[in-house]
Amino acid sequence: MCGIAGFIDDKITDGDKMLSVMLENIAHRGPDARHTFVKNNVYLGHNRLSIIDLSHDADQPMQHEHLTIVYNGEIYNYLELKSELEKSGAHFRTRSDTEVILHAYHQWGKDCVNRFMGMWAFAIWDELNEELFCSRDRFGIKPFYYLHQSGAFYFGSEYKALKPCPLFSNDINTMQVSRGLQMGWTSYYDETYFSKLKALPAAHNLLFNQKSGELKIFRYWNIQTGHYLNLTAEEKKERFFQLFNESVKLHMRSDVAVGSCLSGGLDSSAIVSMVQHQQPKLPYSTFSIYYEGKGDVDERPFVKAVCDKFPSLQPHYFTPSEENIREHFHHALYHADVPATGSSFISQYFLMKLIAENNIKVVLDGQGADEYLAGYNHTAYRMVADLISAFRIGKAISLTGSLAKNQQLSVTKTLAHFGKSILSLLKNEEQLYTLEYHHYFPFLSNESGTPFELGEVDGNCTDNFLYHLMFTTSLPTLLQYEDRNSMAFSVESRVPFLDHRLVEFAFKLRNEDKANGIYTKWVMRQALQEVMPEAIVKRKDKKGFVTPGEVKWLRGALSQLTDADFSKLDFLNNKKIKTLMDEYRKGNNQHAVLIWRLCTLAYWQKNFC
């Protein structure tokens, strides 16, 4: 895991100084080494966090013949690819996955990325063809931002790397602000919070030609939906176990110590349990954040269930105090790069801080499973809609009743739940999200229209919902915070549930494989029931990364945020903002999440624009 930056600009003066500033702005991503490559107005820089092949031979930028690479990420199947390349005559001088990427590109060209299993954002300068080839992994686990104008091209791992660049402008992208306020998204396709700053979308390659100054972007991979496997339940269970087992095994490849985040939920518990299943006597560190107090979520009993089953685990706990929250908020938001659309990112920030303090450089985390295994409660609307569509009305009513009983919903809320399911049948995902965008929170933007498109994919309502969770509505935001929080403390965070083979398999499963009554992620529960503690396998509730920030912190440790000068947000309706803030100050928490987003937006604009 590292930080990359670079540019190709025939008009720049003091290019060395510019590159140095860009790298210094993301020094936290790679404190172990820093090197640059400069030739013919091509500038490439790299901050290294040493994980695979700790020797300086593996430092970057790395060269092979006419190719030079700067790279952030891990290719987990690099040993298998290396063996294949050696059979074709390749000779390696390091033990790094970086050199494998270089040889793979030399051997297979742009198609090499289809062979990679892992997470990456890299740029390869081809001196022979005067082209810069850039790529981002299938799910956008690793970030890649760029600026392109008048034949010049700049790129970097974070907003911060590109702010000093001559092409950068701090003109705010008001459409993205609206998406952040109304939907909680930190990005959308190639857009960022700044109008001119672009993100290379997940599963896309980019090609920049130095001679012409032209830029080409193209997709190299996509999830196939609407085609289901004709396997028995036992075969599906065995296949999931095999794929997940292999993914965890590959994600454990490291030349430094590896640990795990452990919330006590199904996903992180599955990862820790599989690690211990593979290596029963491995001393293995886990890290958990908890809160104590009225209404706070404390999942230590579930963490304890995992630790009791696996005595080799070495658990570490931390609960942030009010003073901790107040002291670290600025630093956390600085590293986030974007306004905070929720408070859970601060919990994750302290989790990564705890990991770094215990000298762990690589950590496994559970992001991704909720998105493709129907882990969120609102997936049920689409599943009930699919039952109605198949004329299984009795089953649809029965499922709604079971869910209502599990969530202790009133009769009125149960009827509303069923009504939302019918709405999910009548409207597509774009129409449903448009309704939420305009009506879930008071609408504050002065912009008209809906700033997103959610195209339909093959398959049923649930397939469409899960597909957009992966690429548009949920996962991109979670991965943004995952990357920034971990890299703030020079920690490499890996996400085993986002092995693309596992995701492809899950999208070939039917609804009943993903959820069975009140139990979400059914195939995973079945596949891992002999590996995980029974208390985890049978959990019926869904907590998520719950934090008390939007009410408790904003009324306590972070109360100063509510004193912001909102008039500077002149692209929003300040009259509505005043009404909302007045109600909140009087104790009305109805729109606490929106208040949090407004306050952190104002703080971000004042301090980081």
DSSP-assigned letter for residue 556: T
**Residue owning tokens 């820790």:** 272
Q: What percent of the chain has pLDDT over 90?
A: 93
Task: Give the mean pLDDT of 228-234.
Answer: 96
Q: What angle do CA 285, 287, 291 make, to 5 degrees?
A: 155
CB 580 within 8 Å of CB 591: yes
Q: Which residues contact 298 (CB under 8 A, 6 or more apart)?
A: 290, 291, 292
Task: Give the mean pLDDT of 539-543.
Answer: 75
Q: List, for residues 275-311, the tens digit of each pLDDT value.
A: 999 999 999 999 999 998 776 778 999 999 999 999 9
pLDDT at 404: 87
**Which CATH architecture best describes the domain 233-372+474-537?**
3-Layer(aba) Sandwich (3.40)
Domain extent listing, the chain: 2-219, 233-372+474-537, 379-471, 549-608
Which is nearest to 562 in space by CA: 570, 553, 571?
553
Task: Give the mean pLDDT of 457-474.
Answer: 97
Distance separating alpha carbons of residues 167 and 194, to the nearest angstrom: 12
Q: List, for residues 63-100, the tens digit of each pLDDT value.
A: 999 999 999 999 999 999 999 999 999 999 999 999 99
Q: List, for residues 307-343, the tens digit of each pLDDT value.
A: 999 999 999 999 999 999 999 999 999 999 999 999 9
CB 531 within 8 Å of CB 248: no
Distance separating alpha carbons of residues 334 and 22, to the nearest angstrom: 16
pLDDT at 1: 67
Please report, as a single letter, which amino acid is at residue 366.
Answer: G
CB 51 within 8 Å of CB 76: no
CB 345 within 8 Å of CB 485: yes
Cβ atoms within 10 Å, residue 576: 13
CB 154 within 8 Å of CB 4: no
Do you find a cis peptide bond into 61, omega within 30 degrees of 0? yes
The values of phi and psi at residue 279, to 5°, are -135, 80
Predicted TM-score (pTM) of the model is 0.96
Q: List, for residues 365-381, the tens digit of each pLDDT value.
A: 999 999 999 999 999 99
**Residue owning tokens 């986030």:** 336
3-state secondary structure of 448: coil
Q: Which residues contact 590 (CB under 8 A, 6 or more apart)?
A: 583
Structure token pair of residue 272 = 């820790």
Is residue 112 among the annotated active site residues?
A: no
Cα–Cα distances in angstroms (integers) from residue 220 to residues 139, 311, 365, 369, 435, in the given order: 12, 44, 26, 23, 32
Structure token pair of residue 256 = 């430094």
Strands 492-494 and 362-364: parallel
Structure token pair of residue 586 = 């009087």
285 bridge partner residues: 314
Distance separating alpha carbons of residues 580 and 389, to the nearest angstrom: 40
Q: Is the pLDDT assigned to residue 545 strictly greater than 60?
A: no
Task: Give the mean pLDDT of 23-44.
Answer: 97
Angular region, 213: left φ>0, alpha ψ -120 to 50, beta rest: left
3-state secondary structure of 374: coil
pLDDT at 263: 94
Helices (H), 290-358: 300-309, 322-336, 344-357
Q: Can you give the C-alpha Rg of the chain in angstroms?
A: 24
Task: Give the mean pLDDT of 484-493.
Answer: 98
pLDDT at 447: 83
pLDDT at 206: 98
CB 601 within 8 Å of CB 342: no
pLDDT at 543: 59
Cα–Cα distances in angstroms (integers) from residue 175 to residues 33, 193, 439, 450, in the given order: 38, 8, 17, 9
Q: List, for residues 111-140, the tens digit of each pLDDT value.
A: 999 999 999 999 999 999 999 999 999 999
Q: List, for residues 213-222, the tens digit of each pLDDT value.
A: 999 999 999 9
| Fold adopted by 2-219 | Glutamine Phosphoribosylpyrophosphate, subunit 1, domain 1 (3.60.20)
**Residue owning tokens 């990005």:** 187
Helices (H), 116-170: 159-162
Cα–Cα distances in angstroms (integers) from residue 303 to residues 280, 282, 346, in the given order: 18, 18, 20
Angle formed by the axes of helices 429-439 and 174-183, nearest 10°: 90
